[in-house]
Chains A and B, each alone.
Chain A
Amino acid sequence: MRRVLFALVSTVVGLVALLGFKTHAPEALALGTGTTGTGTTGTGTTPKASSPPRAAASSAPATATRTLTGSPVNTQFGTVQVQITVKGKTITAVTALALPDQDGHSAQISQYSAPLLSQEAVAAQSAQINSISGATYTSDGYVQSLQSAIDQI
């Protein structure tokens, strides 16, 4: 695992060099599945991500948060692919999209935010939702559950 991590670090450094960022804030470079910045970027569904995707980093507003995805890189351990989140000119998060598992096979790790779908919108597009799966609710929690609304139809 340590060797894989080393490979990832090398790749991240290589990727950063490739992107031509001024790495003036190395303390902000977080390795691993960084939580800062994930969840709000990279999906194209967030309205505020309106800046052109190919805008150069130097011309981006100082506070704009963007997500950049590196090309898959073949290492001796398997394929490594990373995604970085950039706020202004500072890398705030590095997320692994693909990492080799123990067998050397690369696991694809999604870079997608989990969609927010409203029941009404889904019903309008396809058919009525018949049932709701979710983590177990209690008898009390049922009252507020989406399932209770369906049961009253």
Chain B
Amino acid sequence: MPDAVRHVEPVMGTVVSFAVRPRAGHGATVAEALRQAVSWLHWVDATFSTYRADSQISRLARGELRIGACDSRVAEVLELCEFEHTASGGYFSSMVGGRLDPSGLVKGWSIELASRLLSSHGLGDHIVNGGGDVRSSGRPGPDASWQIGVAHPLHPGWLTTVVSGTDLAVATSGTAERGAHVLDPFTGRPPSGLASVTVVGTDLTRVDSVATAAFAMGEKAQPWLERLDGFEAYAVTDSGMAWWTSGYPAFGTVPVESSSIEV
């Protein structure tokens, strides 16, 4: 996308990358929309960061602040966490090590809302990448679709599949995750079986949470993802094998047929 306006913002302990395709007469709007999106992400960081002792989430966790005294967005996030907890049979959790930590949802949710903010400014052609969680909107050019590469979890610098489309959300959860903090809430240990799982859908809030839950499930994720409506997935196991849901090939590339022997 050579004519894109790009912006890279370090925030939330990672880096958020924007590429916005300006529309005719929207030149001034791009800078203003990006400024608002960046400002939003820093507000989210200040409010929800568990690394900041003075964030509302940290004060809520310590019992210094009641939920009613927090910004209404805090209650909204905790409700979304509760929804994802139920939808995933408990594998998505906003309690990490007995402490309130909605980080598993906040990044995807904040990127989703940043994308909607750009669209509300008439900038419907853009892609936002929050530390590996991607929300695409519209198209990169006439008749073109966004190409989103998925990093191979076991071979840095390589991709393992490419997702193609418009208005797609793509999130990957894996062992390379910051701090390896995704644990199986039922065992308290890191999940086994998967090196990474990539989920494709339309709403990054849900897609990111589903990817986190699926990774926590480990090997049990495949039948769960297959049954889940509105989401497709591609996974790499810790032994380097790949599997994907039956609808995934409509969005992403999959390996060609193997040369196994029929017996």
Chain A interfacial positions (CB closer than 8 Å to B): 15, 18-19, 33, 35, 38-40, 42-45, 49, 53-54, 66-71, 83, 101, 107, 109-119, 122, 126-139, 141-142, 144-148, 150-151, 153
**Given the complex, which residues of A lie within 8 Å of B149, measured CB to CB?**
117, 119, 122, 129, 131-133, 146
Nearest A residue to B163, CB-CB: A133
Give the contacts of B84-117 with A (CB-CB under 8 A): 107
Cβ B241 vs Cβ A128 within 8 A:
no
Residues of B contacting A112 in the complex (Cβ-Cβ under 8 angstroms)? 241-243, 254-255, 258
Structural contact, B129 and A131, CB atoms closer than 8 A: yes
Stretch of B14-22, B32-40, B61-69, B70-78 lying at the A interface: B14-22
Q: Are A151 and B162 in contact (CB under 8 A)?
A: no
Verify A68–B19 contact, CB threshold 8 A. no
B153-A68 in contact (CB<8A)? no
Most B-side CB within 10 Å, residue of A107, A118, A146: A146
A107 touches B147 (CB 8 A): no
Q: Is B60 an interface residue (CB 8 A)?
A: no
Interface stretch (choices B23-31, B133-141, B183-191): B133-141
Taking a contact as CB atoms under 8 Å apart, the answer to whether A70 and B239 are in contact is no
A36 to chain B, nearest CB (A): 9
Instruction: Report yes or no: A69 in contact with B260, Cβ–Cβ below 8 A.
Output: yes
Given contacts A110-B242, A130-B136, A151-B8, contact A136 B14 (CB under 8 A): yes
Contacts A39-B239, A115-B255, A131-B146 given; indicate if A68 touches B131 (C-beta within 8 A).
no
CA distance A117 to B234 in the complex (A): 15
B159 near A114: Cβ-Cβ < 8 Å: no
Q: Are B147 and A117 within 8 A (Cβ)?
A: no
Q: Does B231 contact A (CB under 8 A)?
A: no
Known interface pairs A114-B241, A130-B140. Does A137 touch B255 (Cβ–Cβ under 8 Å)?
no
Q: How far is the CB of B91 from chain A (nearest CB, A)?
A: 17
